[in-house]
């Protein structure tokens, strides 16, 4: 299949490489062109401009924010350059409100649209082990299906309205952040009671909580290893804010999401934006007077 690909960050680059390996003809474009070079070396065609990526059967995009999508006109004007029958598969995590608007703009211009956010970090993307969540009209999803199946280990179609895939992803990320908070509070408690935090972590994540999310984030919190960021605090705040926006739109009060938002903001206020989002798991200890951040060491959360 002839596939255009816009947005070649860590995640996007890994997915695009997989498509090349799978034998697809991939035309790439990225705002900062250096990121396209490794893919061109692997056989991708470099588009002269963003519009050049809209000439194939499918366009995949993986841009970090709604702002980045809007800046290149991918939410509207750029679609004028789309080939007939193009289906755009948006892999980004965006708000349901934005998803609705962008879906409407595609429909108005006769371009197919599938929202398809993914679960998994960059390593999972590289290994083709993403969980891919998709929503869109039947024909568009059908056309995108083989490609979506290729980039992940599991494809889940969750609805016919694109925003539903985004809502699904947003709810999942809320759960991830909740696990971080929960482990942070539990660890702060047992540690201040003189119990070995690592033992607590090992027992819990080896029994009832024996899942990747506990094992992965638990290890980071126990080791207080919040740098380098696998997923940044800033993006964590973005995601929990998306959950709260949806919660208002759908009138579903989410007190735990509200708590998480305050945690992210607290750490942002203390210079922690470059940390991994699991760093909010250190705030309970900090509140308890036993901060995981050494005093003299930036970001020095809450040590003024």
| Residues labelled catalytic | 169
CA torsion sign for 33, 39, 41, 46 is negative
Q: Spell out where 30-109 has E strands.
A: 45-46, 58-61, 87-90
Closest CB 144 distance from a copy of itself, rounded Å: 18
Decide: 241 and 195 in contact? Cβ < 8 Å.
Answer: no
Measuring CA to CA, which residue among 288, 287, 303, 283 is closest to residue 224?
283
Closest CB 271 distance from a copy of itself, rounded Å: 8
Q: Does 288 bind a copy of itself (CB under 8 A)?
A: yes
Q: Does 143 bind a copy of itself (CB under 8 A)?
A: no
Measuring CA to CA, which residue among 11, 235, 8 is closest to residue 127?
11
Backbone angles phi, psi at 41, to 5 degrees: -60, -25
Q: Does 105 bind a copy of itself (CB under 8 A)?
A: no
Binding mask of the shown chain, residues 263 to 282, with x at each position contacting a copy of itself by CB under 8 A:
x-xx-xxxx-----------
In three-state secondary structure terms, 7 is: coil
Q: Does 65 bind a copy of itself (CB under 8 A)?
A: no
Closest CB 274 distance from a copy of itself, rounded Å: 14
In angstroms, how far is the first alpha carbon of the chain from the final one? 56
Q: Does 148 bind a copy of itself (CB under 8 A)?
A: no
Q: Does 171 bind a copy of itself (CB under 8 A)?
A: yes
Decide: 221 and 234 in contact? Cβ < 8 Å.
Answer: no
Interface residue with a copy of itself among 11, 82, 176, 280 (CB under 8 A) is 176
Task: Give the CA angle between residues 9, 11, 13 to the nearest 5°.
Answer: 60
Q: Does 297 bind a copy of itself (CB under 8 A)?
A: no
Helix (H) or strand (E) run with residue 153 in it: strand 152-159
Q: Does 71 bind a copy of itself (CB under 8 A)?
A: no
Q: Does 262 bind a copy of itself (CB under 8 A)?
A: yes
Interface residue with a copy of itself among 29, 113, 200, 277 (CB under 8 A) is 200
Binding mask of the shown chain, residues 109 to 128, with x at each position contacting a copy of itself by CB under 8 A:
----------x---------
Binding mask of the shown chain, residues 212 to 251, with x at each position contacting a copy of itself by CB under 8 A:
xxx----------------------x---x-xx-xxx-xx
């Amino acid at each position: 299949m002839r596939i255009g690909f816009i947005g070649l960050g860590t995640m996007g680059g890994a997915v695009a490489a997989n498509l090349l390996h799978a034998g697809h003809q991939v035309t790439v474009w990225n705002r900062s062109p250096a990121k396209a070079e490794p893919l061109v070396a692997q056989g991708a065609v470099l588009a002269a401009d963003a519009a050049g990526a809209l000439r194939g059967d499918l366009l995949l995009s993986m841009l970090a924010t709604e702002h980045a999508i809007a800046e290149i006109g991918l939410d509207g004007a750029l679609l004028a350059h789309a080939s007939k029958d193009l289906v755009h598969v948006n892999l980004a995590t965006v708000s349901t409100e934005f998803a609705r608007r962008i879906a409407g703009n595609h429909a108005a211009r006769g371009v197919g649209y599938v929202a398809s956010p993914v679960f998994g970090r960059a390593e999972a993307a590289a290994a083709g082990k993403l969980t891919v969540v998709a929503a869109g009209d039947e024909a568009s999803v059908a056309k995108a299906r083989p490609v979506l199946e290729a980039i992940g280990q599991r494809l889940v179609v969750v609805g016919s309205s694109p925003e539903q895939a985004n809502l699904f992803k947003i709810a999942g990320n809320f759960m991830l952040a909740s696990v971080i908070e929960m482990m942070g509070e539990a660890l702060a408690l047992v540690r201040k009671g003189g119990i070995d935090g690592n033992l607590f972590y090992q027992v819990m994540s080896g029994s009832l909580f024996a899942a990747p999310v506990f094992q992965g984030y638990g290890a980071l919190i126990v080791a207080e290893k919040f740098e380098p960021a696998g997923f940044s605090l800033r993006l964590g705040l973005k995601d929990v804010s998306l959950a709260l926006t949806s919660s208002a739109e759908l009138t579903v009060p989410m007190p735990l999401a509200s708590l998480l938002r305050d945690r992210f903001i607290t750490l942002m206020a203390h210079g922690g934006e470059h940390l991994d989002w699991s760093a909010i798991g250190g705030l309970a200890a900090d509140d308890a007077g036993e901060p995981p951040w050494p005093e003299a060491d930036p970001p020095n959360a809450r040590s003024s």
